[in-house]
Amino acid sequence: MSSADLTSERDLPPERETSAKGDLAPEHDGPRDTGMDDASLHRWLARTWRTPPGIIGALSSVDHKVIARRYLITAFVFLCLGGLNAVAMRIQLSGPQRGLIGPDLYNQLFTMHGVTMMFLFAVPIVQATGIYLVPLMVGTRNIAFPRLNAFSYWVYLSGGAFAWISFLLNMAPDVGWFAYVPLSGPEFGPGKRADVWAQMITYTEVSSLAVAVATIVTVLKQRAPGMSLDKIPLYVWALLVTSFVVLFAMPAVMITSTFLILDRLVGTHIFNPAEGGDALLFQHLFWFFGHPEVYIIFLPATGMVSAIIPVFARRPVFGYLGLVLSLIAVGFLSFGLWVHHMFATGLPKLGASFFTASSMMIAIPNGVQIFCWLASLWDGRPVIRTPLLFVFGFFFIFVIGGLSGVMLASVPLDLQVHDTYFVVAHFHYVLIGGSVFPLLGATYFWFPKITGRMMSERLGRWHFWLAFIGFNAAFFPMHLVGLWGMPRRVYTYPAELGWGNINLLISAGAVLFFLSFVLFAFNLVHGVLRGVPAGDNPWDAGTLEWATSSPPPSYNFTRIPVVTNVEPLWAERGTLPVATGLRVDARELLISTVAEAHPDIREKSATPSIWPLLAAIAVGGTFLYSIFTPWAIVWGAAPIAITLIGWFWPKGDPEDEE
């Protein structure tokens, strides 16, 4: 008998008759959805999958949509905070020798801006979008490892709060978002500021890694029957590749920040050249994470673009296979570029040439993607709505950022403009153009699914043009002022250099860009309160998240859809083929095979639990305490162990036992 034949509890060897007692319910089966009428089915599923009421219930939620909403709102708050950092800096720089902000505060401001935007906004928000959408798009009832997902949110929230409370206490990191040694090391970084950076990074990346694992397993094992690899929506492909990049990149930054805190806290010498260490090792380790990080932010955005374009071009995307291969190629190549951040460190010429070549090579798969999208639009009948406007904005801005990227890949030019505003302009074009614009388009696109209401189209167009003009006014002149020699991270500049007027223009653009987000926030609130009801599928889109109601019920789908096409709802207009036979009295979902998505196992999904929150508190407390003493790890071990045991110990639900 193979393990496959050992099907369910009912088929276990007879020994269980004698050993089974207590929580093992005598009847190991429950009502199934087969043949059940819609009203009873809804009643059963709603009761089984609900988030319990009350405050403890809310804190125990493991519903991927609830967690994702919290993530999205939190990330938006951090975006606003990081944006306010930027506005403060731009006011200070709007004219020469302004006295609004001193150098110490300015150092904290640009560090907090970078840390917040990279670690607390960009990565969490793209992962959060995935937490919401991936389970819906692959046609399952919850994300894999829902408690781990809940844990990740609490870690993220407390990690972000830790950074910002430190800022309020005037102990925010002031060493730049990448915190190079020796500046951040024990010799030149007194106080606790660099420790806050190190521990906050290690801690919040735990959250990112947890989400990556949950996303990968959801995509590989929980797809609806029939959704073979060549029928996975491109957005889901993008999230899958991104999660793999997270898996191999994030450990590098955790190693970096852990080495740093060890140097600072217990006197190791890893980055200390006087005792056999090396300062450049920090840069290698950091950028081995830091360059893939750019693609962790960018790849999900390309997935959003690939989701939006077919819907508004009114045809399936052109070059599905090419787009998937491009995503994978970019994922791999992103690990071969990190040294181009270090061209100014005096590396051997041959090494530098290699990294120049690989930096230019990554433009190829990215170019393939752009041409596939253009071909889809060319051959379709485009309907220009706000989501598509933002995609156009993405094309324009990202291509400019890509071009200045190809320029920077060349060592002689890089050496000239290293650490100037040219670089600041380049990466804001890439990051805002490549990620924020698609994200804004995606917000207009999926907002109706999340809230059940539409955002205002008119305000959306105003928002787009304000953002587009504001962004370019703020960041395009930075190329020029950078070429004129203005270094980044200076809190002021003398009037004689003649940078005053252009900086005033940049600041005016920044204010305009900021106002576009105020308008966006207004449109969000207006949409939630007064938006036109959306219905299930307001855009007549083709992927599975539109097959359920808006907002989706706790159990996502009354029955698991069966997939026959990459755009299932376009292939099966009218009636959706579904699978039946799942239990409705326990959280049962379908596990399928990795490549073909053949139905394989009826797996139980975890029930709500308060323990992930308690575990996050235990882990967070340990990290916080570790800024002050290495013994925190010893004292923290017991509460962490207790909360983890509480988390995994079965409570007697059917979900625990089978």
Partner 1 sequence: MNQRPAADLSGLPTFGHGPRSPTWWGTLGFMALEGTGFALAAGAYLYLATLWPNWRLSAPEPNHWPGTIVTLLLIVSLVPNHILNGYAKQCAIVPVRIGMVVMSLLGLAPLIVRWFEFLALNIYWDTNAYGSMIWILLGLHTTHLITDVGDTIVLTVLMFTHHGYSGRRFGDVGDNVFYWDFVVLTWIPIYLLIYWVPRLG
Single out the residue of 84, 91, 255, 407 in contact with partner 1 (rule: CB under 8 A).
255
In the complex with partner 1, which residue's Cβ is closer, 543 or 558? 558
State the nearest-atom distance from the C-beta of 388 to partner 1, in Å: 25
Count Cβ atoms within 10 A of the Cβ of residue 91 and give its class: 0-12 exposed, 13-18 middle, 19 or more buried: middle
Q: Map the footprint of partner 1 across residues 468-497, applying CB under 8 A.
A: none
Q: Map the footprint of partner 1 across residues 138-157, applying CB under 8 A.
A: 144-145, 148
How is residue 122 annotated by DSSP? Answer: I
In the complex with partner 1, which residue's Cβ is closer, 64 or 221? 221
Q: Map the footprint of partner 1 across residues 315-374, applying CB under 8 A.
A: none
Near partner 1 by CB under 8 A, which window of 451-459, 490-498, 615-623, 643-651?
Answer: 643-651
From residue 558, alpha-carbon distances to 38, 40, 97, 402, 580 in Å are 8, 11, 64, 44, 10
Cα of first residue to Cα of last residue in the chain, in angstroms, is: 20
| Count of residues engaged in binding partner 1, rule: CB under 8 A | 89
In the complex with partner 1, which residue's Cβ is closer, 142 or 386? 142
Angle at Cα 48 formed by Cα 44 and Cα 54, nearest 5°?
120
Q: Does 266 bind partner 1 (CB under 8 A)?
A: yes
State the nearest-atom distance from the C-beta of 274 to partner 1, in Å: 9
Near partner 1 by CB under 8 A, which window of 121-129, 215-223, 460-468, 513-521?
Answer: 215-223
The four Cα atoms 321, 325, 326, 331 give a dihedral, to 10 degrees, of 150
Single out the residue of 138, 216, 330, 616 in contact with partner 1 (rule: CB under 8 A).
216
Using an 8 Å Cβ cutoff, are 74 and 155 in contact? no
Single out the residue of 30, 50, 228, 278 in contact with partner 1 (rule: CB under 8 A).
278
From residue 608, alpha-carbon distances to 43, 51, 351, 576 in Å are 19, 7, 52, 30
How long is the chain?
Answer: 658
Q: Does 228 bind partner 1 (CB under 8 A)?
A: no
In the complex with partner 1, which residue's Cβ is closer, 40 or 580? 580
Identity of residue 358: S
Q: Map the footprint of partner 1 across residues 63-92, applying CB under 8 A.
A: none
Q: Map the footprint of partner 1 across residues 7-66, applying CB under 8 A.
A: 7-9, 11-13, 15-16, 19-24, 32, 34
Near partner 1 by CB under 8 A, which window of 60-68, 91-99, 487-495, 590-598?
Answer: 590-598
Single out the residue of 60, 127, 272, 507 in contact with partner 1 (rule: CB under 8 A).
272
Q: Map the footprint of partner 1 across residues 547-576, applying CB under 8 A.
A: 547, 558-560, 562, 569, 574-576
Q: Give start and end residues of each alpha helix (H) in 314-340.
A: 320-333
Q: Does 649 bind partner 1 (CB under 8 A)?
A: yes
The 3-state DSSP class for residue 603 equals strand
Quickly list DSSP for 193-251.
HHHHHHHHHHHHHHHHHHHHHHHHHHHHH-PPTT--GGGS-HHHHHHHHHHHHHHHHHH
Helix (H) or strand (E) holding 590: strand 588-592
